Structure 1
């Protein structure tokens, strides 16, 4: 396709390196393992890979506590392995996106080790330090997302340091020009190596209110953190000049990309950080909490359309390394029909789709006892919340020992269903979820309307179904999704008066369902139609 822009027109595939493929029999996935499976990734039809953090880390938060931004953690390989991965990915026309965790470092980072030595240390102002109140209490009422106060007393100097997450993850002071310079140099280091883009972890928390004003209280919320309005410790206006500086740096390199992760409360707030001189895109995770109802998804889609219209490009995600997998949220036993509807929706909306490894085979979360939990968040909130281990289980490649992930005991258990749910088995089955992913990704590339077309909602369709159009001047495509278990009749005469051709159904076409201008949509079926031109 002419003028193909990979981050807008393509599909991005997230790899959680620790769980993808182990090459050296230590039970942990690594970079050589990813290289070994690049042909598989290419065969899916995706256009880019996003790697979760691969930097040296003490692993308090499994890589999101970084101790060196310009090196590779030995458990994943070395810099030569990374450069080989980048080269091999590019040879397969796959772009590579790195996860940059710049809100905080590990407490083992040399900067923090220096910072805590004394109040006049040159690195002191790299982090956020505050004196206790006169009564010896915390500097303010801010809380850490993972529980408790976000202030940790350091006995050596008698001051508190700020941590939005675990105490082992002290937040950087982005108001310090030296920190700003250090971090822009991190971008340059990886850009000069040829990296194609970045996912900015919790970027909306980089800046905090300079006066450290107490957050207002709310009278509802499951966690104490949720009972505060986070208007002073996140989402600060100082972010905009910084994002412009980052974007200007990226634009010095051809076709580079930045997407921001934010847990901002609304889609509208996430979209405000995107634009021609800001981020290319920002995540909003409403889909991850959406009920299996057509109207629930449509409400979110309409908000994305309104928030991004004429300004930036949306993106959609059903899975990532922090939430229960969609197969566990929406799947019914081993039936993948709902997952097929979800994938057709994800790959036909106006926006960039993000996939998470294992999503394409319907990987389910593993179930763990409390004694088996590794995620510290799970330990803290058990049994209210059991952590993120479930969605991080190893990839299931075949029915051999440990699902072909490793010959050693994996760092997390493999799902017991690997004997029947694995890549090898689904590649042999034309009706599998994996086969539908490949078919859908191919169809998406073949039809410009699915990549760049406008989005329009249909006007006449049954309850708990969703019908929408993707339209360009030269092509119109209609998508019909049934979120219910009962058959629903779609009136094609009303929706596409000039006729249409069925491009794809997520169900096997065992009977004639297109009669007299009507299409009988099976329960939990997705169908795509190419409208005819007069």
Structure 2
């Protein structure tokens, strides 16, 4: 069993000059505004992250992924970017960024940052210039402006709906005060879509990639990587037209703005920039696309890696897990990439809560965990609907299984504490997510996974900062805090530390061998060096094969692996 001293000594992991460090890395996502607040203004900041580097190091991760920290009005949690080459003054300065990057590198940790290329903020200087410029101007050509329909252009160019609800078009007032053109926004109206047919847009993002790479950034997570290029014909198809074409529209890359083939020309240019550096900068695509089209985003000529969210959407079910893992490992091998695994992030209900939700009665006999989380949000996020104990047991088991898989493991801040989603405890007046305001009465939004972390058992913000927190924390957070779990050998934090340290020591070739268990509800596989992972998805205990038990997500019962548990053996 690795000791704390062993984990602290891992300052050389990942090897900082290894061009393949990302292939089996453990990457920890930080949502900066909710991680740690150094100055007491209730908002997490870069100095707060720097102060917690020792914690990140002892956790046993290989890299930190930083969600947007750029100047922003926070119309969408920082994904509405005012300036791609600066730091939000509420979070710090460029000098603070440099200090944080240096502290992470000194601890042997890589740094990945979010890039948001599909849209800017409506406060971006380019968009303000476009509003002040006439129709057909070069300033407007950087965005997607169209004339409206109707006798006087009073109707939007199409009936397309924004991801956040409502029309995907917003009408502007022309410089002379008259009602004017419409601009496209797949997301919030404060997030106008950029025109990637415009060469100036492409060149500016190449400049941005170099700007952050020169400051020590090791890689990039590409937000909505599948939406940049668009085909906006003179007559736009209606939503009904698009729905009538079904899955073929997506499989053939013919959707007007989702997953068009032309987007890969952009990423080929980005790859040339990444390869200017030693080691090459890495990238991972957030691309919610058909599985048959994901590989192109992960190609060596493109971004190199793409998120798969298949396990995130799978129920806690042995058959679903085995099928999903097999399929994604085959896809990764075919593309030359490594697979990615993720259960939680800033956009979804935390998996300790999803796995505690009751299964729905439907024609398939169950429901995927991701869909269960969505239904829980729509129902108002009531804590009484969650079996928190079962959810945490399953979450621990699933995470330990994930850490045993070949490929990159992506963690979201707070999952190492076993945090539950904060549901209806957040009052409507305190919510911030645009999804809540645009779909009010339909779902409560994503604020529940973005509540600031609890570091101490008591205090006005449980150690997040001396001035409270920008989202309210529930009373039960103290019992899940870092302080409460530090000395507990069986805590979720201790489990993550043991597992991540072992993962770094044991990872070898990117392969696994499935093992027969004699039970449909038990999944087992062996990695090339004899390291074995066994997960019991059922309720009845399972007799483990012979070997030394390295770590288990729940205590063994008379040598048997209990239900909803994973164990590693060697």
Settle same-fold status: TM greater than 0.5: yes
Contact conserved, 2:64 with 2:111, CA < 8 A, in 1?
yes
Within 5 Å, give how 1:89-238 maps onto structure 2: 89-117=104-132, 118-135=134-151, 136=153, 137-156=155-174, 158-211=180-233, 213-214=236-237, 216-218=241-243, 231-238=255-262
The more displaced of 297-306 and 72-81 is 297-306
Corresponding residue for 1:48? 63
TM-score norm. by structure 1 comes to 0.90
From 456, 463, 469, the counterpart of 2:513? 456
From 346, 371, 384, the counterpart of 1:321? 346
* Distance (whole Å) between structure 2 residues aligned to residue 267 and residue 15 of structure 1: 27
For the residue of structure 1 that corresponds to 2:531, the secondary structure is strand
What is the deviation of 1:97?
0.8
* Distance (whole Å) between structure 1 residues aligned to residue 352 and residue 517 of structure 2: 30
Corresponding residue for 1:395? 453
From 351, 358, 366, the counterpart of 2:422? 366
The more displaced of 125-134 and 159-168 is 125-134
* Distance (whole Å) between structure 2 residues aligned to residue 52 and residue 140 of structure 1: 32
For the residue of structure 1 that corresponds to 2:78, the secondary structure is coil
Matched, 1:504 2:528: no
- Aligned-residue CA RMSD (Å): 2.2
Distance change (3 Å), C-alpha of 1:154 and 1:55: same
What is the deviation of 1:131?
1.2
Contact conserved, 1:142 with 1:149, CA < 8 A, in 2?
yes
Matched, 1:333 2:388: yes
Contact conserved, 1:32 with 1:77, CA < 8 A, in 2?
yes
Matched, 1:445 2:518: no
Q: Deviations over 1:332-381 (max 9, x none)?
A: 32463222201111101121000011010111111223333221211222
For the residue of structure 1 that corresponds to 2:325, the secondary structure is helix
What is the deviation of 1:299?
2.3
Corresponding residue for 1:517? none
* Distance (whole Å) between structure 1 residues aligned to residue 472 and residue 221 of structure 2: 28
Corresponding residue for 1:522? 562
Corresponding residue for 1:382? 440
What is the deviation of 1:525?
1.7
What is the deviation of 1:267?
2.6
What is the deviation of 1:288?
2.4
* Distance (whole Å) between structure 1 residues aligned to residue 221 and residue 513 of structure 2: 29
What is the deviation of 1:210?
4.0
* Distance (whole Å) between structure 2 residues aligned to residue 241 and residue 362 of structure 1: 41
Q: Deviations over 1:238-262 (max 9, x none)?
A: 1111111101110111231111112
What is the deviation of 1:383?
3.4
In structure 1, the gaps of 5 or more residues are 493-498, 514-519
Contact conserved, 1:114 with 1:121, CA < 8 A, in 2?
no
Contact conserved, 2:42 with 2:468, CA < 8 A, in 1?
yes
What is the deviation of 1:510?
5.7
Matched, 1:355 2:355: no
What is the deviation of 1:219?
7.5
What is the deviation of 1:12?
0.5
Corresponding residue for 1:272? 296
Structure number with greater CO (CA < 8 Å, separation at least 6) is 2
Contact conserved, 1:370 with 1:382, CA < 8 A, in 2?
no
* Distance (whole Å) between structure 2 residues aligned to residue 384 and residue 201 of structure 1: 25
Count of residue correspondences: 504
Contact conserved, 2:143 with 2:195, CA < 8 A, in 1?
yes
What is the deviation of 1:109?
0.5
What is the deviation of 1:140?
2.6
What is the deviation of 1:291?
1.4
What is the deviation of 1:442?
1.1
Contact conserved, 1:370 with 1:379, CA < 8 A, in 2?
no
